Structure 1
Amino acid sequence: MSATRTSPPFSLRSIALPAFGPTVLFCLGEGAVLPVAALSARELGASAALAALLVTLIGVGSWFFNIPASLITIRFGERWAITGAGTIGALALLAAALAPQLPQGLWLLAVAMTVVGMATSVFNLARQKYLTEAVPVEFRARALSTLGGSTRIGVFIGPFVGAAAMQFLGIAGAFWVGAVAMAAAAGLSLTIPDLVAKGPGTPDAAAGPEPTLRNVASAHAMVLFALGSGVLLLAALRASRQVVIPLWADHLGLDATHAALIYGVSGAIDMLVFYPAGKLMDRKGRLWVALPSTVIMGVSLFLIPLSSGFLGLLLSAMLIGFGNGISSGLVMTLGADFSPERGRGQFLGLWRFIADAGSTGGPMLLSAMTAAVSLAAGIWSCGVLGLAAAAVFAVALPKLKHRRNY
C-alpha cells in the first residue's frame, strides 16, 4: 500500500478513531499486564530474579523481532499487520491467564510474554508506517506525537482496569483484561482505511522490486549511525527514568503510596503535553523539541539524587514527566522523516531496532553503575545520556536536515 497526498484538505480527526483507537486499546492491555507479570511468575514458583527476567522478555521479544516485523508489514500491509498483532497478542495473554491451571505454567507464561513482545513490535512498526504514509508531512509530527500520547494514555489506564478485574478474578484478571483489550484493538483495526495506491505515473510510485534490508542499511548508513546514536541515547534515557523514580523513593524511605503518587503525577504531566510538542515540531522543526526534551530529562536526573524528601523528588519527577512528554513521537517522527519511499518498512525496522536497543541498555547501565558505585552514581550516569543525546541531535539534525523536507 502506498500513500497519496492529492486528496482534499487533511484533518487528523478524519482518521482519529481507526488510527489512534487501536493504540489506546492495545497499550491498555500492555499496561494491565506489566505490573502483575512478575507477581504471576512468583506464584508459579519463580525466584525473584527469574520473575524479573520474565518481565524483560516482553522488551527482548519486541527488540529482536523489529526486523521480521518490517518484513511482515511489507508482506501483508499495515492494516492486516496491525490486526494480526492484536489478535496474536490477545491469544498470548489468554494463554498467560490460563498458565496457573496448566502443567509447566511458568514456561507457558515465559513464552506468552515473549510473544506479546513480538506482537508489540509488529503493531508498533505497522502503525508508524501507516501514519507516515497516510498523513501529509506538514501534519506528521502532530500525528506521531498523538500516537505516542495514545500509547501513554493506554499504559496509564491499563493498571487501574487490571486492578479492578483482579478484585474478582485474582491475578489472572489482569491477563483477561489484556486479552480483551488487545482483541478489541484487533477488531477496531479492521476499520483502518486502506491507503490509496499510486499509479505508475506518479512521482513517488515504486519502481522495480522492493529493496533488500542490506541495501536500505547501506544506502542510509549515515542517518542510521548519526541520528540513530541520538535515538539510542534518548531511548535509554526514557527507559532509565521509569526505574529511577521508584528506586530513589525507596532510597529515601518513602512508602509505596507516596512513591506511586510521585510516579502517577509525573505520568499525568507526561500525557498532557504531547500535542503542543507535535505542533511545535511541525511549525518550527524537530530540533525545537529534540534539544529541550533531552536536556530537561538529563538535568532532572542530575537533580534527583540531590532531593532529600517527598517534595524534592516530586518536583524532579514532574520535570522529567514534562521533558518526556514533549518528546512524545520524536523518535517515530525522525524515523518517518528520513525513511525512503521505497524500503520504508525495512528502514523503520532498523530504526526501531536501534531505539529498542537503547531501551534495553538504559536500565542495564543504571544497574551496573549502581552495583559498582552507588545508586546516585547510577542515576547521574543516566543523566549524562540526556546531555549526550542533546549533543548528538544538535550536531546531526542541522547537517542532515536537507535529506528530508521538514
Structure 2
Amino acid sequence: MTSPDDPQPFSLRSIAVAAFGPTLLFSIGQGAILPVVALSARDLGASVAVAALIVTLIGLGSWFFNLPASLVTLKFGERWSIVGAAAAGALALAAAGVSYLITDGLWLLAVAMAVVGMAASVFGLARQKYLTEAVPVEFRARALSTLGGTNRIGVFIGPFVGAAVMHFFGIGGAYWVGVVAMVAAAMLSVTIPDLQVAGDGSGGDPGPQPTLRGVAVSHAGIFLSLGLGILLLSALRSSRQVVIPLWADHLGMDATQASLIYGLSGAIDMLVFYPAGKLMDRKGRQWVAIPSTLIMGIALVLIPLTGSFTGLLLAALLIGFGNGISSGLVMTLGADFSPDRGRGQFLGLWRFIADAGATGGPVLLSGVTAAVSLGAGVWATGVLGFAAAVVFAITIPRLKHRRNY
C-alpha cells in the first residue's frame, strides 16, 4: 500500500487530451487542405508547375523554419508556442479561404501556404519538446509514437471532413474546416499544464542558453552519424508517398484504384504505431529502426516487379506496415540524444535534417526516373531503406548517452 506522499505511477491517459488532442485537431486542419491547394492555385490562374510549387511551399516553409522555431520555443515556452502556432495556422488558412475574393489571390495563397508550413514547424517542435520533458523516459517511445500516429490519423481524417464541407460550400470550404480545426487546437492547447523543470542540483546560475551554433558543434558527431540515418529514413518515407500513385498510373489504373491502394496502405500505417512504441521502450530503438527501414526498402524494390492491382496492393500494404512501425522513431531518437540545456536548439537541427531528407527523396525519384526509368527511380528509393538500416545498425549501439533504454 502506497502512502499519500508517494508519486503516482505515470499513465499516458493522464495527459492524453492535452498532449494529443491539439495534434489531432491541427493535423485534421492540414489534412483537409492538402488535396485542394493545387486545385485552388489552378482556379486562381496558376500553371501546373506553379500550382505544384505552391503545394511545395508548405514543406519548404516547415523545413527552413525549423531553426527559428527552436528560438521561438525557447523564448515563449512550449505551451504558448503551440497555442501561437495553431493560431497562426488558422489565420493563414483564413487568408487562403478569401484568396478567391481579391485580385492577387494567387500570391495570397502562396504566402498562406508558406505560413502554414512555418506554423507546423513551431507546432511540431514545441509538442515534441514538451512530451520529451513531460513523459518519463521509460514511456518516451510510446508517447512519441502515439504523437506521430495521432498526426497521421488527423491527416487521414481531414480530407473526408473537407470533402463533406466542400459538397455544400465549394472548394473554399476545405480551408474553413482547417480554420475551425486549428482554432480548436489553439484553444485546447491553452489547457496544457506548464512543465515543472527540475534544477541541476547545484543551486547556481546555469548561465546563458546554448546557441544553435554551439549545439551544432558540440553534437556534430551525432548529427553526422545517426543524423544520416534520419536523413535517409525521411527521404524513404516521402518517396513512398509518390511511388504508389505513380506506379498505379504506370500500370494503367484509374484514380479510384490508386486511391484505394493508397488508402489501405495508410490504414495499415495507422494501426501499428503504439505496439511499435512499446517495443522500442522495452527492447530498444534498434528493434524498430532496422526492421522498419528494411521492410520499406524491400517493398519498394518489389513494386517495379508488380504488374497487377493485387501485386501493387500487397507491396503498398508492406510499405504501410514498415512506415507505421517507424512512427515516432525520428522524434524518439532526437529526444534520446537531446541535451537538457539546448534541447530546443538540438531538436530544431534534428528536424531540419529530417525535413531535408523529406524534401530530397522525391527529388531523387524524379531525377533517376528522368534519366533512366520509373522502375529504376523506385529501386533507387528502395536502396535508401537498406542504407538507413545499415546506418542505424552501426550507429545506435555505438552512440552512448546518459539515458538508458
Please indicate the TM-score interval, normalised by the length of the shorter structure.
Answer: over 0.9
Q: Does 1:377 align with 2:367?
A: no
Is the 1:265–1:318 contact (alpha carbons within 8 Å) kept by the matching residues of 2? Answer: yes
* Paired letter, 1:137: V
Q: Does 1:144 align with 2:144?
A: yes
Distance in 2, matches of 1:206 and 1:284, equals: 38
With over 3 angstroms needed to count, the CA separation of the structure-2 counterparts of 1:206 and 1:16, relative to structure 1, is: farther
- The residue that corresponds to 2:14 in the other structure is 14
* Paired letter, 2:183: A
Q: Does 1:74 align with 2:74?
A: yes
- The residue that corresponds to 1:187 in the other structure is 187
The 5-angstrom pairing of residues 306-385 of structure 1 reads: 306-385=305-384
Deviations 1:260-295 (CA, angstroms, capped at 9, x unpaired): 110010000000000000000000000000000000
Q: Does 1:209 align with 2:215?
A: no
With over 3 angstroms needed to count, the CA separation of the structure-2 counterparts of 1:377 and 1:183, relative to structure 1, is: same
* Paired letter, 1:115: V
SS at match of 1:196: coil
The 5-angstrom pairing of residues 146-165 of structure 1 reads: 146-165=146-165
Deviations 1:40-70 (CA, angstroms, capped at 9, x unpaired): 0000000001101110000000000000000
Distance in 2, matches of 1:191 and 1:125, equals: 18
* Paired letter, 1:54: I
- The residue that corresponds to 2:46 in the other structure is 46
* Paired letter, 1:37: V
Distance in 1, matches of 2:246 and 2:141, equals: 33
Distance in 2, matches of 1:178 and 1:255, equals: 29
- The residue that corresponds to 2:167 in the other structure is 167
With over 3 angstroms needed to count, the CA separation of the structure-2 counterparts of 1:404 and 1:222, relative to structure 1, is: farther
Distance in 2, matches of 1:201 and 1:300, equals: 50
- The residue that corresponds to 2:24 in the other structure is 24
* Paired letter, 1:282: D
Deviations 1:302-361 (CA, angstroms, capped at 9, x unpaired): 000100010000000000000000000000000000000000000000000000000000
Query: How far did residue 208 of structure 1 move?
Result: 1.3
Is the 1:33–1:175 contact (alpha carbons within 8 Å) kept by the matching residues of 2? Answer: yes
Q: Which runs of 5+ in 2 are unaligned?
A: 1-5
Query: How far did residue 202 of structure 1 move?
Result: 6.7
SS at match of 2:188: helix
Is the 2:238–2:361 contact (alpha carbons within 8 Å) kept by the matching residues of 1? Answer: yes
Aligned length: 400
Distance in 2, matches of 1:270 and 1:68, equals: 31
Is the 2:227–2:353 contact (alpha carbons within 8 Å) kept by the matching residues of 1? Answer: yes
Deviations 1:213-239 (CA, angstroms, capped at 9, x unpaired): 111111111001100000000000000
With over 3 angstroms needed to count, the CA separation of the structure-2 counterparts of 1:283 and 1:353, relative to structure 1, is: same
With over 3 angstroms needed to count, the CA separation of the structure-2 counterparts of 1:84 and 1:231, relative to structure 1, is: same
- The residue that corresponds to 2:3 in the other structure is none
RMSD: 1.2
Query: How far did residue 36 of structure 1 move?
Result: 0.4
Distance in 2, matches of 1:271 and 1:287, equals: 21
Provide TM-score, normalisation by structure 2: 0.97
- The residue that corresponds to 2:389 in the other structure is 390
Distance in 2, matches of 1:153 and 1:216, equals: 33
* Paired letter, 1:94: A
Distance in 2, matches of 1:325 and 1:199, equals: 37
Is the 1:234–1:294 contact (alpha carbons within 8 Å) kept by the matching residues of 2? Answer: yes
Query: How far did residue 200 of structure 1 move?
Result: 6.0
- The residue that corresponds to 1:255 in the other structure is 254
With over 3 angstroms needed to count, the CA separation of the structure-2 counterparts of 1:11 and 1:223, relative to structure 1, is: same
Distance in 1, matches of 2:74 and 2:396, equals: 28
Query: How far did residue 395 of structure 1 move?
Result: 0.4
**Percent identity of equivalent pairs:** 75
* Paired letter, 1:28: I
- The residue that corresponds to 2:110 in the other structure is 110
With over 3 angstroms needed to count, the CA separation of the structure-2 counterparts of 1:351 and 1:206, relative to structure 1, is: farther
Distance in 2, matches of 1:341 and 1:171, equals: 45
* Paired letter, 2:236: L
Distance in 2, matches of 1:153 and 1:181, equals: 14
* Paired letter, 1:162: G
SS at match of 1:161: helix
Deviations 1:344-386 (CA, angstroms, capped at 9, x unpaired): 0000000000000000000000111111111001100000000
SS at match of 1:291: helix
Is the 1:206–1:342 contact (alpha carbons within 8 Å) kept by the matching residues of 2? Answer: no
With over 3 angstroms needed to count, the CA separation of the structure-2 counterparts of 1:322 and 1:100, relative to structure 1, is: same
Query: How far did residue 201 of structure 1 move?
Result: 3.0
Is the 1:291–1:393 contact (alpha carbons within 8 Å) kept by the matching residues of 2? Answer: yes
Distance in 2, matches of 1:378 and 1:276, equals: 32
Query: How far did residue 402 of structure 1 move?
Result: 4.3
With over 3 angstroms needed to count, the CA separation of the structure-2 counterparts of 1:251 and 1:206, relative to structure 1, is: farther
Q: Which runs of 5+ in 1 are unaligned?
A: 1-5
- The residue that corresponds to 1:278 in the other structure is 277
- The residue that corresponds to 2:220 in the other structure is 221
With over 3 angstroms needed to count, the CA separation of the structure-2 counterparts of 1:185 and 1:321, relative to structure 1, is: same
The 5-angstrom pairing of residues 233-252 of structure 1 reads: 233-252=232-251
Distance in 2, matches of 1:160 and 1:206, equals: 52
* Paired letter, 2:321: F
SS at match of 2:206: coil
